[in-house]
């Protein structure tokens, strides 16, 4: 139910025929109006945001059209702008982040939901929620002083020695790059995966587990083959949420990605993401086309996160409606 089920009837039985002004004398109507204005302002703000972004990026749309998305060249002097390198960087760093965060996150969620007694699970969840509260600039600083040297000295050489036959792990490793940014992002999004997955796993009905165990499966088998698939949609939702967060992350990425618009098959190579290029070049974009191209990039990012968030919400709703417990929509 959207509102409380109690609606206080107004005093007069001929309420509808009163004029607006005289209805306004009734305190309830004022309250309704005032709170409506606030609620409407939220909608207005959102519409305004999309509108402003749209009209402030009209020049590149006129000049480049859809080619904007597949052009590699980003040359402010020649006024040629293409988003491909930034889209690539955004997607690659997020993909790396997820490939680290998803296994770790689901594993941790399984532990917290299935194995740990509540006395252990609740405090651990508390700490993991705190991890989500750490500001991104601090992750960036730690990325600069810890992950970058670690990458150069230990991680990259190890990966090259073991998996160097893959083009992903070839080429020089500077410390900054796609992989470093992906690692930092992974740490940032793990809490989201853990907390949502844990909740979804906790809400799987007990009889599912018990049935599996009764049929002779081990603890792990019942978890992995019965419980987790049951919670699949909710877990997918958490992954989309994490992805949306990773795509939009600015500060931590710009401090460790190398800030070079380039597309490379190597994860050690430096790159650029949409959010990072906006942060770096926005205040200096001389010329309307340049500035509007950056705003167009912002619009692209917004669209990506919008779609992902929508998918996440949809999946969460599906989880809830399947009756797998008290899923929160």
Partner 1 sequence: MKRFSVLAVLVVALAGAVLAQGSLLINGAGATFPYPIYSKWFDQFHKSTGAQINYQSVGSGAGIKQVTEGTVDFGASDGPMNDDQLKAYRAKNGSGILHFPTVLGAAVPTYNVPGVSTQLNFTPETLAGIFLGRISKWNDPAIANANKGVNLPANDIVVIHRSDGSGTTYIWTDYLSKVSGDWKDKVGKGTSVNWPVGLGGKGNEGVTGLIKQTPNSIGYVELIYAAQNKITFGTVKNSAGTFVNADLASVSEAAAGASKTMPADFRVSITNAPGKNAYPISSFTWLLIPEKFKDAAKRDTMKNFVKWAITDGQGDAEALSYAKLPKEVVDMELKALSKVQ
Partner 2 sequence: MNARLRWRKLVSAFMLTMTGVCAFVAVLVLFFILGYLVFHGGRSINWDFFTKLPTPVGEPGGGMANAIIGSAKLLLLASLFGVPVGFFGAIYLAEFSGSKTAFVVRYAADLLNGVPSIVIGIFAYAMVVLPFKHFSAYAGGFALGIMMIPITLRSTEEFLLGVPNTLREAAMALGASKWKTIATVIVPAAYRGILTAVLLAFARVAGETAPLLFTAFGNRYWSPGFNQPIESLPHMVYIYAISPYEDWQRQAWAAGLVLLGLILIVNIVARFILARGVSVQRS
Site residues for partner 1, 243-302, by CB under 8 A, read: 254, 258-260, 270, 280-281, 283-287
Best CA proximity match to 78, nearest among 272, 279, 290: 290
CA dist 206 and 208 (Å) reads 5
- Part of the chain binding partner 2 (CB under 8 A), chosen from 15-23, 65-73, 204-212, 304-312: 304-312
For residues 199-238, which are near partner 1 according to CB under 8 A? none
Site for partner 2 in 164-203 (CB under 8 A): 187, 190-191, 194
126 binds, among partner 2, partner 1, none (CB under 5 to 8 A by kind): partner 2
What is the nearest approach in angstroms of partner 2 to the Cβ of residue 315?
14
Rounded Cα gap, residues 89 and 257, in angstroms: 9
Among 14, 43, 66, 78, binds partner 2 (CB under 8 A): 43
Instruction: Give the residue among 241, 245, 242 at the shortest CA–CA distance from 253.
Output: 245
Q: What 3-state class would DSSP assign to 110?
A: helix
**C-alpha to C-alpha distance for 186 and 15, rounded to whole angstroms:** 58
Report how many helices (DSSP H) and strands (DSSP E) the chain contains, helices first: 16, 2
**Binding partner of 164, given partner 1, partner 2, none, CB within 5-8 angstroms per partner class:** none
Separation CA 170–CA 166 (nearest Å): 7
| CB-nearer residue toward partner 2: 96 or 251 | 251
CA 165 remoteness from chain centre:
32
Q: Which of residues 57-86 bind partner 1 (CB under 8 A)?
A: 73-78
Size of the site for partner 1 (CB under 8 A): 25
Q: Which is nearer to partner 2, 4 or 19 (CB)?
A: 4
Confirm or reject binding of residue 175 to partner 1 (CB under 8 A). yes
Window 240 to 279, contacts with partner 2 (CB under 8 A): 244, 247-251, 255, 275, 278-279
Residue of 22, 46, 58, 262 interacting with partner 2 (CB under 8 A) = 46
| Single residue of 14, 42, 66, 161 touching partner 2 by CB under 8 A | 42
Burial readout 52-67 (b: 16 or more C-beta within 10 A, e: otherwise): eeeebbebbeeebeee
């Amino acid at each position: 139910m959207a509102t409380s089920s109690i609606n206080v009837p107004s005093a007069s039985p001929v309420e509808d025929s009163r004029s607006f002004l005289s209805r306004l004398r009734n305190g309830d109507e004022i309250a309704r109006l005032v709170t409506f204005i606030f609620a409407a302002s939220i909608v207005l703000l959102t519409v305004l945001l999309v509108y402003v972004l749209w009209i402030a990026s009209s020049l590149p749309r006129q000049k480049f059209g859809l080619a904007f998305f597949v052009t590699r060249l980003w040359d402010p002097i020649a006024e040629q702008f293409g988003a491909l390198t930034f889209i690539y960087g955004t997607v690659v760093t997020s993909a790396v982040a997820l490939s680290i965060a998803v296994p770790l996150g689901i594993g941790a969620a399984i532990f917290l939901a299935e194995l740990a007694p509540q006395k252990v699970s609740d405090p651990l969840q508390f700490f993991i929620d705190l991890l989500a509260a750490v500001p991104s600039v601090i992750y960036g600083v730690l990325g600069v002083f810890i992950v970058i040297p670690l990458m150069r000295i230990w991680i990259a050489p190890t990966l090259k020695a073991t998996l160097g036959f893959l083009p992903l792990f070839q080429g020089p490793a500077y410390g900054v790059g796609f992989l470093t940014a992906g690692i930092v992002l992974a740490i940032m999004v793990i809490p989201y995966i853990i907390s949502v997955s844990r909740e979804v796993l906790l809400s799987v009905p007990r009889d599912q587990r018990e049935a599996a165990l009764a049929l002779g499966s081990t603890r792990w088998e019942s978890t992995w083959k019965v419980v987790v698939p049951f919670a699949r949609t909710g877990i997918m939702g958490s992954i989309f949420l994490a992805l949306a967060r990773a795509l939009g992350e600015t500060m931590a990425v710009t401090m460790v990605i190398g800030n070079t618009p380039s597309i490379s098959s190597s994860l050690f190579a430096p790159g650029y993401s949409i959010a990072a290029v906006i942060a770096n070049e926005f205040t200096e974009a001389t010329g309307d086309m340049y500035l509007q191209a950056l705003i167009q990039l912002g619009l692209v990012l917004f669209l990506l996160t919008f779609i992902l968030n929508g998918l996440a919400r949809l999946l969460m709703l599906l989880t809830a409606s399947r009756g797998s417990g008290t899923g929160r929509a």
